[in-house]
Amino acid sequence: MYGTATIAAGLTGTTVDVSTMDDSWDEDTETFLLRLSNPVNATSGTMTGIGTISDNDGIPTVSITSPTAVVEGNPTTFVVTLSAVSGLPVTVNYTSS
Ligand SMILES: [Ca+2]
Ligand SMILES: [Ca+2]
């Protein structure tokens, strides 16, 4: 995203809107930068702004499903599932008993 911000004569500021996407993934808080460059009729002050995006999705639930019976001597596979996709890697320990 890029553009030119114009502060009209007689004013001291303007705004730059940056849209963010509402996804359905559980995520950490994200940050991004908006940098100013090449001012005309002004000198450079603080030229980098930091945008912060807070996640609004809940943490998913991890579950295990029980496989159908297999004849002894054959492998069996358990499936581990999440209730929703996540933007973060999910790990869970397992142990047999
Ligand atoms: Ca969301
Ligand atoms: Ca999210």
Say how far apart CA 75 and CA 25 lie, in whole Å.
Answer: 33
Look-up: residue for tokens 């492998």? Answer: 75
Type of residue at 96: S
pLDDT value at residue 75: 96
Distance from Cα 44 to the centre of ligand 2, integer Å: 35
Query: What distance in angstroms lies between residue 19's CA and the mean position of ligand 2's atoms?
Result: 14
Q: What is the pLDDT of residues 17-63, one digit of tens each?
A: 999 999 999 999 999 999 999 999 999 999 999 999 999 999 999 99
Neighbours of ion ligand 2 (CB under 5 A): 23, 25, 27, 55, 57
Residues 6+ apart with CB under 8 A from 84: 24, 25, 26, 57, 58, 60
User: For 11-22, what is the mean pLDDT?
Assistant: 95
At 58-97, the pLDDT tens digits run: 999 999 999 999 999 999 999 999 999 999 999 999 999 9
Q: Helix or strand or coil: residue 26? A: strand
| pLDDT recorded at residue 48 | 96
The three-state secondary structure class of 50 is strand
CA of 15 to the centre of ligand 2 (A): 25
